[in-house]
Structure 1
Amino acid sequence: MAELLIGKKALSFDRHEIDRNLAISFVSAIKEDRLLQILEDHIVNEDNIEQLKEVANLAKRCLSLRKEDRPSMNEVAVELERLRIMGKHSLGNIDIGVKEGFELKDL
C-alpha cells in the first residue's frame, strides 16, 4: 500500500541514504505530518484526503516491526472494504483494490 500511495519501490539505492528504505521514510513522514507531501500527486484531491490518511495509517500499521501491532490480512481487507464503501464517490480515481464480496479465500 505504501508503494502505491507514494509511487516508489520498497528499497532503492538511487535515493538518498535516509530515504532508501520506503517503510522507514513512509512511517517517518506520517509521524512528522508530512504525508500529503509524499503522496503521488495524481491520487490526491480535496475530497479524498481523509480516506488517503486512513489508508496510509493502515499501511503504517502493516509496517510495524512488532507482529502484535500489525493487522491480519483479514483485518486489512475489512478495513479497505469499509473505506471503499464510505468513500465510494469521494475517492474519484483511487481504486484501493478491494472488490465487493471479496474474501481472503479468493486469493
Structure 2
Amino acid sequence: MRTAPAGPVREVDEEKQRVLRVLEEKILRCTLCPLSQGRTRAVPGEGDYSAPLMFVGEGPGADEDIQGRPFVGRAGQLLTRIISAMNYRRQDVYITNVVKCRPP
C-alpha cells in the first residue's frame, strides 16, 4: 500500500487537530437547518486531516445516516475499491460530504 509522503507537508499540529475535533463536535450537535430534524446522525468527515487526497460527496445516504460515517453504503464500497486500486487505504485519505445530514 502506498502511504502519503511523510514530512512537513503532512504534519498536522496539535492546535489544528484540536480545532478540527471541535468542528466535528459542532457538526454532530448542529441543528441550524431543517436537515437536522430528519437525520439519525450527522456525518462528519473521517480519515487523515492532512491527507494529499480528499474525496467529497454530495450528502450522506441512508447507510451513512445510520452509521454516522461517510461513504459506507454501496457508493462507499465502490470508493473503497477505488482508493485501494490507487494503492491507498481509507485511513490515508480524507472522506467527507458537502452536506453533513441526509437530505430528504
TM-score (norm 2): 0.29
Q: Which has the higher strand share?
A: 2
Q: Which has the higher helix share?
A: 1
Greater relative contact order, per chain length (Cα 8 Å cut-off, separation 6+): 2
